Homo-oligomer: A and B are copies of this chain.
């Protein structure tokens, strides 16, 4: 019997290293020709499976597949498309199984965050219910670093490095001019519910007085008065004050400071613009000259300053996903298990998708300093190794050489399905 084919898809917000995981999946699958046939990637994630828009990855060159290791974004396309519960929308799950049947797909590798691991788990259930054997393996990915069990999530380390480096650089900039110019600088970073990225900004401060001076976590409701007192203290003591603010920062009533009212496909509020709110709050109360930055997608696409640790783990988890499948595991997700802080040592493990799905790992209370404006030594110890090592892409004419895949679709075998 010919070996079953595999389906791989990227899901949710992309990262600087999700393509490194793709590379790990693809290159490892090719090492088990007796177990895995072709690898088909979904064009634009799970939408590609529903629409039967599949890319046979063997039609891409080996160089391009290798180049995925250092290419940000989702090279096959990703999507914000959440499958509903099995009962609410069984048709979509049945369609997936139909497509998988049509293309003799026996492996389902789903590269995403919490929502996506939930989807992978549901797909594994429907396969069972419909009597179509399917090996479902999640591949963790999220810059938010909020998946449970795993020491960290691929994507986070690189974003953390970007934010720490950027804050360090902007901090030096502000410091060097604060005598006669800007005194308060606010950097807004991603992290709707979990403040891991904001926490990473604190790594920029290596010595007493270094920027950033204040971290505003989504886990800590903003005490405006206490915050303004702290800003004033910093400016008086250091001449300036740098603040890292999470996009998910809430006021005392639990309302997002940046809430614009829009929602994304998952029903989550679309945030953005907390930095100008904070900057104006400071200006109104204290009169300081301010500047603010919103790095938005720049932070999660910044492969040029990728963390070598992160890249290595992203690849290793893609590879591990295939190895778990080949070993006969099902409905699991490979994870990073930390075995030592310094030097950082880690090994691979795995967790059950049913336990991973839709659990958000917040920054724990003992990682946040007592005043709520900084990180503890414990948090620093956790974060430090994740940004270590540089892994630069190749450059040509001053720009990184990022891969653009051909993404040629294979012939369809089924009727159209509207998504």
Contacts and interface: CB of A to CB of B under 8 A. Distances in A.
A37 interface: no
A79 B180 contact: yes
A398 interface: yes
Given A169-B303, A307-B398, A399-B165, A179 B44 contact: yes
B265 A276 contact: no
A398 B295 CA distance: 20
Contacts of A402: 168-169, 172
Contacts of A168: 399-400, 402
Contact of A280 (B80, B175, B271): B271
Interface stretch (A24-32, A109-117, A286-294): A286-294
Interface string A395-408: 10111101000000
Contacts of A414: none
B14 A166 contact: no
Q: For this complex, into which size category does the number of interface residues on chain A fall?
A: 35 or more
B280 A276 contact: no
Contacts of A302: 166, 169
Given A14-B173, A182-B297, 4 more contacts: A74-B177, A79-B180, A166-B298, A262-B289
B169 A301 contact: yes
A174 to B, nearest CB: 7
Contacts of A161: 398
Interface in A231-290: 260-262, 264-266, 268, 270-273, 275-277, 279-280, 289
Interface stretch (A1-9, A322-330, A356-364, A382-390): A382-390
A295 B297 contact: no
Contacts of A175: 73
A296 interface: yes
Contacts of A397: 384, 388
5 contacts: A72-B169, A169-B301, A173-B297, A261-B266, A291-B297
A300 interface: yes
Given A47-B180, A78-B177, A180-B79, A170 B272 contact: no
Given A78-B177, A176-B75, A384-B398, A291 B276 contact: no
A181 interface: yes
Contact of A271 (B204, B277, B387): B277
Interface of A: 10, 13-14, 44-45, 47, 71-81, 161, 164-166, 168-170, 172-177, 179-182, 185, 187, 203-204, 206, 260-262, 264-266, 268, 270-273, 275-277, 279-280, 289, 291-298, 300-305, 307, 384-385, 387-390, 392, 395, 397-400, 402
A265 B271 contact: no
Contacts of A13: 177
Given A291-B296, A304-B305, A390-B395, A173 B73 contact: yes
B297 A294 contact: no
A402 B384 CA distance: 18
A261 B271 contact: no
The 7 closest A-B pairs by CB, nearest first: A387-B398, A73-B172, A169-B301, A271-B276, A293-B296, A74-B176, A173-B301
A293 B304 contact: no
Nearest to A308: B398
Nearest to A303: B169
Contact of A291 (B79, B187, B272, B279): B272
Contacts of A279: 271
Contact of A276 (B203, B273, B399): B273
B268 A260 contact: yes
